[in-house]
Amino acid sequence: MNLIKSNTNQCLLASFAMVLETTTKTLTEELGHDGKDIVSRLIEPYCYRSFHPQEFTDVCFKRGKSLVLIEKYPKLMHGTELIDHSSFMDPDRFDTYLEHTGVLCGTSNRVGHAVALIGGKVYDPRGYVYKKLLGFHNLEPLYFLMVV
């Protein structure tokens, strides 16, 4: 696996390109956009359209794969109250899924970030490859998009 680097706020695109063993150019063509359209008046990088995980669900489906969303902190509305259900589940549940191939999404320094998990290694589009998720290089994981 080759690391695909991205310094253009396209880490989700680069991470999926690595997981799907393709290029960002191919995925951009399949998706019909590069995520760089300005859709709000916010400052960079918040102003960009970016990519919704559902777009990659479609890309995976067309390739005969499924995308499974694994939330670190699953929440559910109970009437008008939002309850964190992770406290009712196995505390190691989320980490168990990280042994599989997919894209780990979260925040890094209060900005959204994504990395590819492949064969027990982390491929970070910021230019790093590392073996363990310890420290996450300032990534606070929120959900994992497992490709099966």
User: Using N-to-C axis directions, what is the helix angle for 24-31 and 53-62, rounded to 10°?
Assistant: 100
66/112 Cα distance (integer angstroms): 23
Give me the sign of the Cα torsion angle 85, 74, 122, 124: negative
**pLDDT tens profile 98-141:** 999 999 999 988 888 999 999 889 999 999 898 766 555 678 89
CB 82 within 8 A of CB 75: yes
Give domain limits for the chain: 11-147
**pLDDT tens profile 55-91:** 999 999 999 999 999 999 999 999 999 999 998 999 8
pLDDT of 7: 84
What is the second-level CATH architecture of the domain 11-147?
Alpha-Beta Complex (3.90)
Q: What is the DSSP letter of 43?
A: P
Closest CA to 13 of 32, 35, 38: 35
**pLDDT tens profile 16-39:** 999 999 999 999 999 999 999 999
**pLDDT tens profile 40-56:** 999 988 899 999 999 99
Closest CA to 53 of 106, 3, 130, 96: 106
